[in-house]
Amino acid sequence: MNSLRVAAQRTVSRTTSRCLSSSAASSLDRMQTVENFDSVLERFAQIRACAVLRTATSDACPKAMEAAIDGGFKIVEFTLTTPDCLEHLSNFRSKYDDKVMVGCGTILTPEDAEGAIDAGSEFIITPVMLPDVIEWCKERNIVCVPGCQTPTELVNAYRHGAPLQKLFPGVTGGPGWVKAVSSALPFLSINPTSGVDLDNAGDFLRMGAASVGLVAPLFDPEAIAKGNFEQISKNAEKVMANVREVGPYVRRKV
């Protein structure tokens, strides 16, 4: 009888613990729905290319990003290194809600992530593998794409809860490297950024990348400095044509 009572008490204790854990999770600040989490991943899988913007001046930021969107980009990332980043992010989220997915990059702390989510960011990008940021996002059903340089970092990011893993900086071998790693570790969903240009974006996707990020090759610094935003639109049109040729990504189970 005593052993039955002990077993019953343990069962009640485990049930209570699970209920408390569930209650705590549901009361987290900035909590997103599972449906929203899945929607962000599905849009990455369908569109497969993100415009990643970093400008030296606040004034150039909205003009350059508008040009990329005019050229066909439907996923965009504002980086915290850009002056007035969160203000611009918020404005674009309001203007393009449901038409363009807007995220924030160069996130280094959970506090950075909080500010980005409050501004309207739909996903979080980090330049390096930061477990505290990944786990903060995971607990709240927020898609986090952390920067990783090696297969070990890619796997660790995945284990901490990152459904997409950003390959940054670029690696020797480019698309071939992605093919080798994604073949050996098929549960990863790799998102190369550095090293991706207007011509090889499609090659990265064909070789196993889940999606790609376009930085300087899209946002040509010289064109931005001269105010030649038409060139940014032309760059966007070219790379998005290459991306569309490959088609959607078959998502890995998270």
Q: What is the pLDDT of residues 122-135, one digit of tens each?
A: 999 999 999 999 99
Pair 195, 32: CB distance under 8 Å? no
Q: What is the pLDDT of residue 14?
A: 40
Tell me the mean pLDDT in the region 111-128.
98
Q: What is the pLDDT of residue 171?
A: 81
Closest C-alpha to 191, from 237, 124, 98, 117: 124
Asked if pLDDT for residue 8 goes beyond 70, the answer is no
Asked if pLDDT for residue 17 goes beyond 50, the answer is no
- Dig out the tokens for 215 from the structure: 């930085």
Q: What is the pLDDT of residue 6?
A: 35
Q: What is the pLDDT of residue 27?
A: 57
- Dig out the tokens for 119 from the structure: 């501004």
- Which amino acid belongs to residue 136? W
The pTM assigned to this predicted structure is: 0.88
Asked if pLDDT for residue 164 goes beyond 90, the answer is yes
Question: CA-CA distance, 252 to 254, in Å (whole number)?
Answer: 6
Question: CA-CA distance, 224 to 202, in Å (whole number)?
Answer: 25
Q: What is the pLDDT of residue 254?
A: 56
Question: CA-CA distance, 165 to 149, in Å (whole number)?
Answer: 10
Question: CA-CA distance, 210 to 44, in Å (whole number)?
Answer: 8
Question: Which phi and psi (to 5°) does residue 24 adopt?
Answer: -65, -40
For helices 229-246 and 60-70, angle between their N-to-C axes, nearest 10 degrees: 40
Tell me the mean pLDDT in the region 147-152.
97
pLDDT in tens, 69-79: 999 999 999 99
Q: What is the pLDDT of residue 173?
A: 86
Q: What is the pLDDT of residue 25?
A: 45
Asked if pLDDT for residue 172 goes beyond 90, the answer is no
What is the number of H-type helices and E-type strands within the chain? 11, 8
Tell me the mean pLDDT in the region 187-211.
97
Question: CA-CA distance, 81 to 36, in Å (whole number)?
Answer: 27
Q: What is the pLDDT of residue 176?
A: 96
C-beta contacts of 124-128 below 8 A and 24+ residues apart: 125/52, 125/77, 125/79, 125/166, 126/166, 127/168
Lowest mean pLDDT among 21-25, 55-59, 131-135: 21-25
Q: What is the pLDDT of residue 95?
A: 97
Percent of the chain whose predicted confidence (pLDDT) is above 90:
84
- Dig out the tokens for 18 from the structure: 């699970």
Q: Which residues of 5-41 are buried (b: 16+ CB within 10 A; e: fewer)?
A: eeeeeeeeeeeeeeeeeeeeeeeeeeebeeeebeebb
Tell me the mean pLDDT in the region 162-166.
98
- Which amino acid belongs to residue 49? A
pLDDT band at 28 (very low <50, low <70, confident <90, very high): confident
Asked if pLDDT for residue 45 goes beyond 60, the answer is yes
pLDDT band at 57 (very low <50, low <70, confident <90, very high): very high
